[in-house]
Structure 1
């Protein structure tokens, strides 16, 4: 087991789209500083984000302002081989072999310009995963001081349990939003509570569909949430994060925006506790029917 417990900020900054923000190095440094000022100290990466470019962009900012590294936790994910101009695979596929995992961890360390990653997640369940062998690689990289903690992302409860049996995992990153509620029913969040592991939540705003979706579900949910948000005097964004934070698994929602104002709205949700009727009102709007 790692010597220190995993400690993430209550809201996590997602770096998936950083390459699209078109920020130069000073602007990236300032964005990181402003994010830290909001109390968001955890930054969620993946080796493939931005066509394999985001970690290097973030690393340039850290090299320009190395004082920032000690104030943050760096999360990365690996295990997806994504076709790109520099990676001419025949198709996208998953790879959790020891050699590939080690290569990607070391690539992330080099791109970010750091000696250790606070947390590394297996990005998707590899159907060819040898759990015992993978756990051995976890132990090696941890003993070398390259990774402090391990977790998984988008795994089923059985897949997560298999890997956890061979090496202790510290979190599970899954999708949850007022528009995507599968994790409430598939056992993922139940397992998180059972193991006392706080999950990380990606796409808490439904990829923006909460604001602009024209499908019947998005319209129902938006109308219901707008009424609740108006009554509570908060934004739709803050309400969406508050809905997620209300779950007893104590999740860490991950933002996806480069706008500091959006991040501030997410942080504001930490001061909101929805009552059960408001929470279920949103659930009902999403499902399109009342509870059974």
Structure 2
């Protein structure tokens, strides 16, 4: 990536108001995303047709006049979307060049089976080649997700160490990793898990060099402003929140209580839009979603 482009993107993420749109549902979550959009399984015969339909959905979102860099800082894509074009440009370059929205790429390959109360990431085969492709397409950063179910110190330590180990590989490739150890919102030990996670993240952040900057994507905490130390940490560019299964209204309410944390919502962003809407209805629904999330991210 041209360093000038990366510098401009870094400046945007660091200083502009707004939030990050998560448009990165992959193979496993695509049928659900399409169903919520009003397209059920009878509309496609195979994965190829399914991914064509989801790209049409994402293209409609991204090309909408209300989806722009005034309120949206960045957008997270998955590899299939990165390989496709919008209006003749690779999706990532369309986002930056036409919308002034910073592109990110989901790089994980899904979750391993639960052990020690957590699900680590499956091994990420071909990561170096994927990072090279991301660089060629002007992607700024990456995203990878693990899940924490219980307040198990050993499991949470393992998840955090894995995230930062791969994060260093991503940093070495010249990209900014979004570290995402999600705490399940239904965990009976959610607050305790968050306390353990915060300490493990602080430990890992303090091991980074001065020029190794990361972003964090975390579940909205049980206690407001609980992640203040992470938001203020010199190695952290931005702390973003996942909606985690909360409705958009609930997610926005909780987000507004956490100063300096911004949204990186997926399902909560697309709540209410459908394939059956006219363009005017679609734009109005999307505008309302973007506006609410933007306001909640501005506290």
Q: What is the TM-score of this pair, normalised by structure 2? A: 0.50
SS of 1:42 mapped into structure 2: strand
1:149 paired to 2:214: yes
Cα displacement (A) at 1:163: 2.9
Shift in alpha-carbon separation, 1:174–1:59, aligned structure 2, 3 A = same
Q: Distance in 2 between matches of 1:235 and 1:60?
A: 41
Q: Distance in 2 between matches of 1:239 and 1:58?
A: 39
Choose the corresponding residue for 1:14, options 13, 19, 23: 23
SS of 2:257 mapped into structure 1: helix
Query: For residues 239-250 of structure 1, what are the structure 2 equivalents within 5 Å?
Result: 239-247=284-292, 249-250=294-295
Root-mean-square deviation (CA, aligned residues, Å) is 4.7
Cα displacement (A) at 1:17: 0.7
**Where does residue 183 of structure 1 map in the other structure?**
251
1:67 paired to 2:136: yes
Check the 8 A contact 1:47/1:78 in 2, yes or no: yes
Check the 8 A contact 1:16/1:46 in 2, yes or no: no
Shift in alpha-carbon separation, 1:111–1:150, aligned structure 2, 3 A = closer
> Highest Rg: 1 or 2?
1
Cα displacement (A) at 1:139: 2.4
**Where does residue 203 of structure 2 map in the other structure?**
136
Choose the corresponding residue for 1:96, options 137, 142, 156: 156
Shift in alpha-carbon separation, 1:5–1:157, aligned structure 2, 3 A = farther
Task: Give the structure with the larger strand fraction.
Answer: 2
Q: Distance in 2 between matches of 1:18 and 1:151?
A: 24
Cα displacement (A) at 1:79: 4.0
Report how many residues are paired. 211
Alignment gaps of 5+ in structure 1: 83-90, 213-221, 253-292
Check the 8 A contact 2:240/2:263 in 1, yes or no: yes
Cα displacement (A) at 1:72: 2.3
Q: Distance in 1 between matches of 2:261 and 2:247?
A: 24
Query: For residues 1-292 of structure 1, what are the structure 2 equivalents within 5 Å?
Result: 7=13, 12=21, 14-17=23-26, 28-31=82-85, 33-39=90-96, 40-43=101-104, 45=106, 47=108, 49=110, 60-64=129-133, 66-68=135-137, 71-80=138-147, 95-97=155-157, 99-107=158-166, 110=169, 114-124=173-183, 127-128=192-193, 129-130=195-196, 131-141=198-208, 143=209, 145-146=211-212, 148-156=213-221, 158=223, 161-165=225-229, 168=232, 170-175=238-243, 180-185=248-253, 188-192=254-258, 195-203=259-267, 204-206=269-271, 211=274, 234-236=280-282, 238-247=283-292, 249-250=294-295
Task: Give the structure with the larger helix fraction.
Answer: 1
Alignment gaps of 5+ in structure 2: 1-6, 31-46, 52-78, 113-120, 185-189
Cα displacement (A) at 1:14: 2.8
Check the 8 A contact 2:21/2:265 in 1, yes or no: no
Check the 8 A contact 2:179/2:215 in 1, yes or no: yes
Shift in alpha-carbon separation, 1:180–1:105, aligned structure 2, 3 A = same
Cα displacement (A) at 1:7: 0.8
Q: Distance in 2 between matches of 1:177 and 1:37?
A: 29
Q: Distance in 2 between matches of 1:58 and 1:248?
A: 32
